[in-house]
Amino acid sequence: MSNLPTALLSFDIEEFDSPNAYGANLDHAEQLAQGCRGWERTLKLLEELAVPATFFTTAAIANHAPELLRKSAVKHEIASHGFHHATLAVGDLQSSRELLERLSGTPVLGFRRARMEETAPETILSAGYRWDSSIHPVWLPGRYNNRHMPRTIHRRSALIEVPASATPNLRLPVFWLAFKNYPQCLYRRCIERCLARDRYVNVYFHPWEFMNLSSARLPRYMRHPCGEQLCDRFADFIGWLRTRAAFSPISNYLAREGMLP
């Protein structure tokens, strides 16, 4: 058994609807097509790097590309990202879990709500999940201020909460936008702080980031870097991180730590 801390790597597998928030008009078919292209690129990249991840997948994109879901389930954990990325209707938590389990042939224990919005623990539990990773315990201007929330893994009633990581004290985020916009020396220092204090780090990305976004209607801080430039940066980061942490899907880590049977 490795004495290294653990890296919990995850990807939100979803329709590419982000440009529509900035004035674009991508229809649902194009959102799915773009999302699947990124998904395929991400699978190839992770295969090349030989690291496992947790894939928070919308039921809509899984239903559109069940072969990609089954391929993903061979080496990665499948978790739920709701039914559609843009909305969350009553019943979506349970129906998305059931569809993902049926298509992938694997249990779906975890949930992450789109845009890290909050859902009552009782609602998540009643839909059949064991853990949730929708908390981002930082202040993100224009989105949320969650600095008052617990920073590390904890329980809310019977639900295990697995927040996205943030540094101790200052609570600097280490999510996808930080990876894109921090100097890499600062980003890696933040990762080291999390590993040293918490013995794990929970970081997440989106497959569409690894596509060419030069013409996408998105702010530069979301677009750049992208495509092969981002793939190269990510591969370099994983090479650095694997000397400091052992990679694990989230449910495997929770089971190893005695939080899941």
Domain limits of the chain? Answer: 6-256
CA 243 to chain centre: 22
pLDDT at 255: 98
CB 202 within 8 A of CB 176: no
pLDDT the model gives residue 24: 96
Rounded to whole angstroms, how far apart are CA atoms 111 and 160? 11
Q: What share of the chain in percent tops pLDDT 90?
A: 95
d(CA 46, CA 257) in angstroms, rounded, equals 25
Task: Report yes or no: 136 and 163 within 8 Å, Cβ to Cβ.
Answer: yes
For the chain, what is the radius of gyration of the CA atoms? 17
Q: How confident is the model at residue 173, as a pLDDT?
A: 98
Neighbours of 152 (CB within 10 A): 17
Residues 6+ apart with CB under 8 A from 1: none
The pLDDT of residue 1 is above 60:
no
CA distance 138 to 178: 12
Residues facing 202 on adjacent strands = 8
Q: Please give the mean pLDDT across all residues of the chain.
A: 97
Please, which residues have CB within 8 angstroms of residue 243's CB and are 6 or more apart in sequence? none
CA distance 63 to 168: 39
Rounded to two decimals, the pTM is 0.96
Is residue 261 scored above 90 in pLDDT? no
Longest dimension (CA), the chain: 50
Q: CATH homologous superfamily for 6-256?
A: Glycoside hydrolase/deacetylase (3.20.20.370)
Look at residue 88 in the predicted model and tell me its pLDDT. 86
How large is the average pLDDT for residues 97-123? 96
pLDDT, tens digit, 9 for 90 and up, residues 145-166: 999 999 999 999 999 999 999 9
Closest C-alpha to 64, from 36, 23, 87, 91: 36
Quick one: how far is CA 197 from the chain centroid? 21
Structural element, H or E, at residue 161: strand 159-161
Q: Is the pLDDT of residue 72 over 90?
A: yes
Where do runs of H (alpha helix) occur along 22-91? 28-49, 59-64, 66-75
